[in-house]
Amino acid sequence: MLRYALRRLLELVPTTAGVLLLTFLLFHVVGGSPAEVALGQHANAASLAAFDARYGYDKPLLAGRWAPSRAWSERAPLPADGHLVPAFPLTAGGWRLDLRGAVAPVTATIRLARADGAETNELSAPFRSRAFGRRRTADWTVPEGWIAVQIGVDGGDAPATGRVRLARRTAHPLDSQLFHYLGSLLRGDLGDSTAYGMRVARVLREGAGPSLALTLPLLAGGTLLALLLAMAAAVWRGRAPDRAVLLGTTLLMSVNYVVWVLAGQYLLAYRLRLFPLWGFEHWTYLLLPVLIGLVSGLGRDTRFYRTVLLDELHRPYVRTAIAKGLRPARILWRHVLRNSLIPIVTYVSISVPFLFTGSLLLESFFGIPGLGGASLNAINSADMATVRAIVILGALLYQLVNLATDLCYAWLDPRVRLD
């Protein structure tokens, strides 16, 4: 069993790496620009570029020597006079002008200025053809202490036309967002949250407590209560207790989750004043959301446990135990329940990763500052660092729970072999 556990722990590394890479790519493909979400689409290019530089979004996504710059919009064409004025001065370092058009440009003339504006200078950079002759690039380096304020494109006999892309040279090919993030993870640094203005680790620490305070009672209380009802229904199958349980669970499952939340808030909190309505100032603020969570999931859990117990009650060993004269309560607790634990453990283990992110709807409706609300806020505000951290920790938790479930199988049933 120890060797099996060690092998499964080693398997966490490639699996988590795959989840990390997939999440990293997915959120950059569909998430849009974090700077535009955080600052608004009407923010100027200098503010957007400063935001990208602060959080590392000004680097290539995976790898590369050049990163696009916000100093010039990639969708904007070259001005008719051939003079390109960047949205903000280009600082010291390597730069590249990429022009796609039918007319071949000859030379790019870069006007430089001292930071204090006391001196100006110019340098030239010839264009080189790339990609079947329709893409041409000019590379240059802005010296230390200087800034580039204007770029002129000389088209020779005819004015150059086309779409312009301005890029900045990176320190090395692996100076990218992915490798920067991987290096931070190896140092135990989850990055900065753009939505909360604090370290991501602090966001997780502050959200884990409220989420666990809400979901642990839901998991433990819901499992115990559903098991007791299922056992009563299984023992008195076809009788009044069983019919009452079936009717009650059917009614519970027929009502939408949101209806339970709204009805509980209006009747119990607003009208009757039995519970606090909003916030997380005291443990009493958890009573109503825990009650609603228990009621909304009780029907589904009870029906499942009842089915499992009924399946065991018809086994031959139960008839043998009855023939030996064992008391029904002993048969139920010592034999039937024990042999039903494997499907029950499987069912419960599926809900354990839910503890990490909490109940998103309950946290949102009751103003509980847990990880569920933090996840939703991070997604809406394109807070990539927080979203990635929550996804990675959720993947780790899910894999650890699966490992613990397999070990529980071997402990509960000696016939189960872990190879």
The CATH number of residue 164's host domain is 2.60.120
Range of the domain at 239: 198-412
Q: For residue 126, what pLDDT is reported?
A: 87
Q: Does residue 186 sit within a domain?
A: no
Q: Does residue 54 sit within a domain?
A: no
d(CA 224, CA 244): 18
* Domain identity same for 101 and 221: no
Q: Where are the beta strands (DSSP E) in 157-284?
A: 163-169, 192-193, 198-199
Q: Does residue 22 sit within a domain?
A: no
* Domain identity same for 266 and 361: yes
d(CA 215, CA 357): 9
CATH code at position 273: 1.10.3720.10
Q: Does residue 5 sit within a domain?
A: no
Q: Which residues lie across from 83 on neighbouring strands? A: 152
* Domain identity same for 357 and 394: yes
**Alpha carbons within 13 A on the beta-carbon side of 60:** 17
* Domain identity same for 404 and 349: yes
* Domain identity same for 241 and 338: yes
Task: For the chain, give percent helix, strand, coil, nearest 5.
Answer: 55, 15, 30
* Domain identity same for 382 and 282: yes
* Domain identity same for 261 and 364: yes
d(CA 346, CA 141): 61
**Per-residue model confidence as pLDDT tens digits over 101-139:** 756 677 888 899 987 767 788 888 888 887 555 678 889
Please state the domain count of the chain.
Answer: 2
* Domain identity same for 281 and 321: yes
* Domain identity same for 219 and 160: no
* Domain identity same for 211 and 158: no
Q: Name the stretches of the chain with pLDDT < 50.
A: none
Say if residues 213 and 283 touch (Cβ distance below 8 Å): yes
Q: For residue 131, what pLDDT is reported?
A: 59
Q: Does residue 142 sit within a domain?
A: yes
* Domain identity same for 240 and 331: yes
Q: Does residue 304 sit within a domain?
A: yes
Say whether 114 sits in a helix, a strand or coil: strand
* Domain identity same for 160 and 206: no
Q: Which two tokens stand for residue 248?
A: 């009650």
Q: Does residue 176 sit within a domain?
A: no
Q: How many CB atoms lie within 10 A of CB 117?
A: 9
Q: Does residue 77 sit within a domain?
A: yes
